[in-house]
Amino acid sequence: MPEHNDYLKGLMTNHLILLEKQNLEDALQSVSKTCINCKFCKRECAFLQKYGKPKEIADCYDESNHTCRTMPFECSLCQLCEAVCPVNVKPVEMFLQMRRAAEAHYQGLHARHGTLLDYERRGTSRWYSYYALPAQCNTVLFPGCALPGAQPNTILRLFEHLQKCFPALGIVLDCCTKPSHDLGRRQYFAAMFGEMLQFLTKNGIQRILVACPSCYRTFKDYGSPLEVQTVYEVLAAGLLTGIEPSSGVVCVHDPCATRYEPEIHEASRQLISAAGFTIEQMPHEREETLCCGEGGAVGFVNRDLAEHWAERRAREAKGQRIITYCSGCVSFLGKINPTSHLLDVVFESRAVMNGSIRVSKPPFTYLNRIRLKNYFRRNLAAAVTRERTFSPDESDSRLSRMKRSIPYL
């Protein structure tokens, strides 16, 4: 029996390798045929300045070359190259497929990304995850991983305000596993996100309200039939009233996961203006926003490239406080420039400009997540609850189960 299990596992591994190689070849050909070798994207991106224009990279790519295998993990996957491209080339799809091929054949760069993968696994474990769905619940708040740890009281205030519009609002404390998605771990991502999606739809959930732009991107791309909306759009639509007026000049950093979401861009600026702040426009924002430096987990592979993005953003801010709606961006940009979360503007606008907002750091973030989970467990009456214990069993010998976990097979 063990020999049979190994044989089936080998078949699945070989199938994945062949599949990812074909997908990669298609992506390389698409970029090679479409890219006109102009300099628009290269001017904007230090990664492309290091490795060449998209067509040059596609034409020279050799999977057997170690540099070619590690190179795509230095791309932030931010899509700025696509946003400035005059012929609509999508290099990020090529770099993501390179990551997937490296993962299928060479196990990616797990040694470099171990810390991030451990963080993700904790987020999906029974210790940190919690689902509470009240009776008649069809809408849940999905706050993501970072913000509940950094600012748990903000999540509680947000949940209270959202309940005014959605009285049967539920809470889902879990991870969308976008880190695995971006690292090319397609099989793992499909199994983990697919199991969560199946549980939510089976229990009557129709709408996801997210506070994290990365979660927004994940649910929008893969969460059908669920409707996904950011909490900022809900708040800007009139749910929140009575924001304490403040004043000051700020800049807005749009996270790259919302690059093509003008409704979210507008909602964030409406909330900032409603708090009395004046917005000073930076050269790169909205559709042409910059990456904060955290994107694509580049910092684990090339710290200089990651910090380049943050430094560039700080130069554009010219010392003004940056407001953004991503907890990761707050953390990364906040190291070199005053930066606040948009929900700080909503709930504590007068404390924003003096920098007195309390933001927790590890390891206290993990304790905060457990405390937040325990709060909802005690105080939110729910008809359905669970802690997630699901984990893809890569050694399972049943081929049919593995196929069900991987929609694209």
Q: In Å, what is the CA distance from 198 to each residue of 190, 191, 204, 223?
A: 12, 10, 10, 10
**What is the reported pLDDT for 356?**
87
**What is the reported pLDDT for 327?**
96
Note the pTM of the prediction, 2 decimals: 0.90
How far is it, in rounded angstroms, from Cα 20 to Cα 187? 11
Per-residue pLDDT of the chain (409 residues; tens, 9 = 90+): 444 344 334 434 555 556 677 788 899 999 999 999 999 999 999 999 999 999 999 999 988 888 888 999 999 999 999 999 999 999 999 999 999 988 887 776 778 899 999 999 999 999 999 999 999 999 999 999 999 999 999 999 999 999 999 999 999 999 999 999 999 999 899 999 999 999 999 999 999 999 999 999 999 999 999 999 999 999 999 756 666 777 899 999 999 999 999 999 999 999 999 999 999 999 999 999 999 999 999 999 999 999 999 999 999 999 999 999 999 999 999 999 999 999 999 999 888 888 888 899 999 999 999 999 999 999 999 999 999 999 886 444 333 443 343 343 3
Assess contact for 191 and 150: CB atoms under 8 A.
no
Assess contact for 75 and 92: CB atoms under 8 A.
yes
**What is the reported pLDDT for 18?**
60
Assess contact for 334 and 231: CB atoms under 8 A.
no
**What is the reported pLDDT for 8?**
35
How far is it, in rounded angstroms, from Cα 227 to Cα 149? 25
Query: What's the number of CA atoms in the CB half-sphere (13 Å) around residue 110?
Result: 7
What number does CATH give the domain 237-352? Answer: 3.40.50
How far the first Cα of the chain sits from its last, in Å, is 24
User: CATH 3.40.50 residue ranges in the chain?
Assistant: 117-230+364-386, 237-352
**What is the reported pLDDT for 36?**
95
Assess contact for 165 and 238: CB atoms under 8 A.
no
The per-residue pLDDT for range 52-79, each reduced to its tens digit, is 999 999 999 988 888 888 999 999 999 9
Strands 249-253 and 278-279: parallel
Residue 211 DSSP label: S
Residue 245 DSSP label: P
Strand order across the beta sheet in which 130-133 lies: 227-230, 207-210, 139-142, 170-173, 130-133, 384-386
Strands 384-386 and 130-133: antiparallel
**What is the reported pLDDT for 82?**
95
Say which CATH class 117-230+364-386 falls into: alpha beta
Q: In Å, what is the CA distance from 263 to each residue of 65, 258, 282?
A: 43, 10, 19
**What is the reported pLDDT for 405?**
39
Return all residues near 227 (Cβ < 8 A) that are at least 6 apart.
206, 207, 208
